[in-house]
Amino acid sequence: MPGTEAILAEKGFLDYAIDPGMDLFAEIERLKKEKNAIILAHYYQDADIQDIADYIGDSLGLSQEAAKTGADVIVFAGVHFMAETAKILSPQKKVLLPDLKAGCSLADTCPPDQFKVFKEQHPGHTVIMYVNSTAEIKAMSDIVCTSTNAVAIVESLPKDEKIIFGPDKNLGRYVAKKTGRDLVLWDGACMVHEIFSREKIVKLKNRYPQAKLIAHPECEEPILKEADYIGSTTGLLKYTISSPDNEFIVATESGILHQMQKASPHKTFIPAPPDNNCACNDCPHMKRNTLEKLYLCMEYEQPKILLPEALMDQARKPIERMLEISAQKGL
Ligand code: 13P
Ligand code: SF4
């Protein structure tokens, strides 16, 4: 029989049989209390996971929560780089991820060896890296940012500061335009946000002339040009709540629609169509997490995030700088 490590390496989670009659919600609640565990979930998680989470948020909110929680165990319902960030901020805590293979195609576009060469080609630059990157990349950075604070972080630096921004070129281009800065961009992108079809969105806008197009800054420039509002997942959610409008075309991962619909049941949310024959815009990495895997990881306290101390110490500095600047700016 294969051991725990072998199962985790092959499957990413312990695929032990679960009684189909088990009330997973009740069991997860029990485990939360027994283990003093907190569930942090990103807005892109399945509705069931969002509903059982103690905190639901965007990447910035989740990092802030991970840094301040009093829980002994952080169960991170999100992707690998998010759980890594939580571990770096709370190294003494146990950080669990329901599926170790829940990665990020954007983070994968920036391998540390290639980024090292890129940095050497641009000496004298301050490195601002989007949180959607590995711990190794964060350790090579000066400041980390998220989509909520990227503009504020670039603006916190002197106007003549030379800046490398990565790994998302679409967010980088958006931040450069917003701040009027000339950023050196790494050529990475997110597979979910890259796929929206401008043509189909324009047709949808004609069909729903009252609808506002709201988009995440990871979307490509032609989509952002059409958008009535651009913001992080939290920014988009807040916009739909405070806006007097009743119809929204949402250009980001579809998980966020659950909170939008819950907060404004009388409003209509239309997922922006991708440029393929499928009508869904799910992140396959985020959606690897399921309620069953959440239960299993809490019951067996596996898989957990383990990182070398020295790497965590190095990666913590740019993350803490981000949290300091965000606090100063009231974000
Ligand atoms: P935010 O959580 O900053 O909105 O970013 C979205 C995302 O792509 C997370 O992977
Ligand atoms: Fe990565 Fe994009 Fe998925 Fe976010 S939505 S986890 S950036 S692949």
- In the chain, where the domains are located: 4-102+285-306, 106-190+313-328, 196-271
Ligand 2 centroid to Cα of residue 101, in Å, is 13
**In this predicted structure, what is the pLDDT of residue 277?**
67
Q: List the beta bridge partners of residue 304.
A: 96
> What is the DSSP secondary structure assignment for residue 211, as one 8-state letter?
P
Kindly identify the ligand whose nearest atom is closest to the C-alpha of 288.
2
CA gap 295, 231 in Å, rounded: 32
- Which of 79, 110, 146, 186 most suits a substitution to test ligand 2, by most atoms within 8 Å of the C-beta? 79
Q: How far is the CA of 42 from the centre of ligand 1 (A)?
A: 8
The class (CATH top level) of 106-190+313-328 is: alpha beta
Q: 18: number of CA atoms within 13 Å, CB side? A: 19
Per CATH, the homologous superfamily of domain 196-271 is NadA-like (3.40.50.10800)
What was the pLDDT predicted at 1?
64
Distance between CA atoms of residues 145 and 130, nearest Å: 5
- Matching residue, tokens 């952080």: 74
* Tokens representing residue 284 in the block: 């396959």
Q: Whose CA is nearest to atom 1 of ligand 2?
A: 104
- How high is the pLDDT of residue 258? 97
Q: What is the pLDDT along the chain (331 residues), one digit of tens a residue?
A: 678 999 999 999 999 999 999 999 999 999 999 999 999 999 999 999 999 999 999 999 999 999 999 999 999 999 999 999 999 999 999 999 999 999 999 999 999 999 999 999 999 999 999 999 999 999 999 999 999 999 999 999 999 999 999 999 999 999 999 999 999 999 999 999 999 999 999 999 999 999 999 999 999 999 999 999 999 999 999 999 999 999 999 999 999 999 999 999 999 999 998 777 665 789 999 999 999 999 999 999 999 999 999 999 999 999 999 999 999 999 9
Report in angstroms the alpha-carbon separations of 238 from 78, 217, 255.
21, 15, 15
Q: Where are the alpha helices (DSSP H) in the chain?
A: 4-11, 24-35, 47-52, 59-68, 80-89, 105-108, 112-121, 135-139, 150-155, 169-179, 198-207, 221-226, 233-242, 256-263, 291-300, 309-328
**Shared fold status for 4-102+285-306 and 196-271:** yes
Q: Of the ligands numbered here, which is closest to the C-alpha atom of 110? A: 2
Query: What is the reported pTM?
Result: 0.95
Contact of 139 with 315, CB cutoff 8 Å: yes
The per-residue pLDDT for 284 is: 95
Q: How many CB atoms lie within 10 A of CB 134?
A: 23
Name the residue of 59, 194, 218, 285 whose CB sits within 8 Å of the most ligand 2 atoms, as the mutation to test its pocket: 285
Helix (H) or strand (E) holding 222: helix 221-226
Distance CA 31, CA 16 (A): 17
Q: Strand 268-271 relative to strand 247-251: parallel, antiparallel, unpaired?
A: parallel
User: What is the CB neighbour count within 10 angstroms for residue 142?
Assistant: 15
Ligand approaching nearest to the C-alpha of 58: 1
**Distance (Å, whole) CA 229 – CA 240:** 10
Give yes or no for a contact between 94 and 301, defined as CB atoms under 8 angstroms apart: yes
Q: Which ligand is nearest to the CA of 236?
A: 1
Q: Give the residue, by CA position, lying nearest to ligand 2 atom 6.
A: 104
Determine if residue 209 is labeled as part of a ligand binding site: no
CATH of 4-102+285-306, picked from 1.10.510.10, 3.40.50.720, 1.10.1200.10, 3.40.50.10800, is 3.40.50.10800
Residues in contact with ligand 1 (CB, 6 Å cut-off): 58-59, 132, 146-148, 190, 218, 232-233
Please give the order of strands across the beta sheet that includes 212-215: 229-230, 212-215, 247-251, 268-271
Residues with CB under 6 A from ligand 2: 79, 104-106, 132, 190-192, 253, 283, 285-286
- Provide Rg for the chain, Cα atoms: 20
Which of 43, 82, 85, 147 to probe ligand 1 with, by most ligand atoms within 8 A of CB? 147
Residue 275: predicted pLDDT: 78
Spatial CA neighbour of 249 closest among 231, 268, 265, 234: 268
Residue 229 parent element (H or E): strand 229-230
Query: Do the annotations mark residue 126 as ligand-binding?
Result: no
